[in-house]
Amino acid sequence: MTPLERALRERIAADGPMTVEAYMEACNNYYYATRDPLGARGDFTTAPEISQIFGELVGAALADCWKRAGAPADAIYAELGPGRGTLASDALRVMRGAGFRGEVHLIETSPHLRDLQEQALPGAHWHERLDALPARPLLLVANEFLDALPIRQQVGGIERRVLVAAGGLAFDRDGEIVETSPARDEAVASIGTCLAAKGGAAIFIDYGHERSAPGDTLQAVRGHRYAAVLADPGEQDLTSHVDFQAVANAARAAGAIATDVVTQGEWLIRLGIEARAQALSRANPDRAEALHAAVNRLTSSHQMGSLFKVIAIHSPGWPAAAGFA
């Protein structure tokens, strides 16, 4: 039994069955605080870890927004759940090249990942909570952040819970599941409020669906394989598909403007991933094959290209990020 499972069983014995939301929150807090989950030897690989081009194109999109908004000197780069800091490093290299000199603010709860980020991004500022971001124009990105925030599951309008049965953890009910995520709505609303007040643009990339729909999307990943959601709590990544319609609604309710949702593949192609890969291949012919494979992994609909979606939100006074309809 994992250390967290022991603690959760005690909690359930004392307080009764726990909601899926509380279970997911407890598992991911423990999971991210105790390891670097990324890469071949970890549990999963994210887009910025596949190729530097991903972060470079995000940086180019943010730099372009910033310039078209008049290049405000007080704007900051902000990122939610920056992992190893790879996306920020690649994005900021491009943004610095475009003249951006702003501070770097990172939202990260995991002390372990914060250490890795400090090595990649010396001089950055860290915060545990979104509401600690300074009141300045934002150039913000979040890749695979929203999917890790806890969701609620309801069956027939009744909260789904986790209990101990037959010696193991089990769900208290099955049936058609409706998922919502107050934590995600709150995170997006908080960014939308900052944008509406101080200006800026934010890009959210994650796997999920464009329209709200019922269905159970909670999943566990460990060692690059799917695992049972209730097995080994705290030792595997728990995520669920992001409802991009709910993201757009939360942003709009906070006074920001949301773009259409586009697939990651389409967005990266519109931003010029192929030309960038060709330029890098010409400069490093021995890397051409690996670059081609990386572009394929990021854009192909058989890989990440279609499942992953992108939405941008911005303040009424700022332009929409490039790559959206």
Q: Which residues bind ligand SAH (CB under 6 A)?
A: 28, 32, 38, 46, 48-49, 81-83, 87, 107-110, 113, 143-145, 148-149
DSSP state of 320: P
Q: Report, in Å, the least distance between residue 76 CB and ligand SAH.
A: 17
Give the separation between CA 324 and CA 319, rounded to whole angstroms.
Answer: 11
- Specify the residue, 214 or 226, whose C-beta has the smaller distance to ligand SAH: 226
Judged by CB, which is closer to ligand SAH: 64, or 108? 108
Specify the DSSP element, H or E, that contains 67.
Answer: helix 52-68
Q: How far is the CB of 12 from ligand SAH (least distance, A)?
A: 22
Compute the distance between CA of residue 142 and CA of residue 88 in angstroms, rounded to an integer: 10
Q: CB of 148: closest distance to ligand SAH in angstroms? A: 4
**Toward ligand SAH, which CB reaches closer, 30 or 66?**
30
CB of 165 to ligand SAH, least distance (A): 28
DSSP state of 233: T
Q: Do residues 46 and 38 touch, judged by C-beta distance below 8 A?
A: yes
Q: Which residue is nearest to ligand SAH (CB)?
A: 81
Cβ proximity to ligand SAH, 87 vs 257, nearer residue: 87
- Closer residue to ligand SAH, CB minimum distance, 104 or 113: 113
Q: Concatenated DSSP letters for 250-319?
A: HHHHTT-EE---EEHHHHHHHTTHHHHHHHHHHH-GGGHHHHHHHHHHHH-TTTTTTTEEEEEEE-TTSP
How many helices (H) and strands (E) would you count in the chain?
Answer: 11, 18
State in angstroms the smallest separation of the CB of 188 from ligand SAH: 13
